[in-house]
Structure 1
């Protein structure tokens, strides 16, 4: 149990440091100090900064996905469900990047762990699409999910404020819903 506590503390500290300072500027010493442990103790948990980064990204994704799943329960309809998932994941990532530019490393698709957590989001969105469709899908649910996730993610290049980003996200969700769950 004690080692779990150390690991949890180290992962949470790593997530905080990477969000604040980005991958390049964060050192294992920074993480160790934030976790209130020695560097050698941190190296017993993680072979290097890359492993600490991976654990931090996975930790943050577990939190985010649990938050999404919890928020989906009372949601009514596909549009609400997709909006919740996109808002709690994509809009919040955009907001974080606006407030803390160094956090962009946490969303860098050239990093394998980031691609993996995006795949988890795509899988959740595909589940929602498949469950909420009212007729035949115009494409595979996985392809529709990928299209929605990356269309919304790409909206960040067109705006620099969360309100506009969120409005544009809702438009993308509405367009998809019109294709998979037309209203009578």
Structure 2
């Protein structure tokens, strides 16, 4: 069911109006922001936190990933929390497991970026080749996937629960400060969302 929903939502997201919904710091939002297992990049003490739900076979995610990477490079007051949400089939799940295993090497962001830049049709061999090209220790990656399989699966389950608790209909989706935005954000729209979040501050108590 989640796969079908993800496929349908991804197919229309490029044409969705990107209207932001302002959220308060509910238990759901707190769980999203405070999940220690979700990979993070950027500022240790940010003034804007961005949460992004993605799938490695989502075409809109791939098209808009460079905007997020550029923001991390140019804005040193932003932190990004990555929520791998594999809803587009087995290959998405394989890639998400590998990405969270790469986080054990401290290489999540590099591997995530390489997976997003890869052609759409992924499989286990493609994921392994991308790991090699990114410079990961592939033997360690395989070992970590096995040793931490239960933890990784639990993390992905939490991401799935968080996505559905927020009412997300597919990938990509962002929480930029207090604003929930579904659909892809290009560089200009992302910068606009960050400016609005800075003006508003973090999610406030309900």
TM-score (norm 2): 0.25
TM-score (norm 1): 0.27
Which of the pair has more CA radius of gyration?
Answer: 1
Give the number of the structure whose residues are more often strand, by fraction: 2
User: Whose relative contact order is higher, 1 or 2, with alpha carbons under 8 Å and at least 6 apart?
Assistant: 2
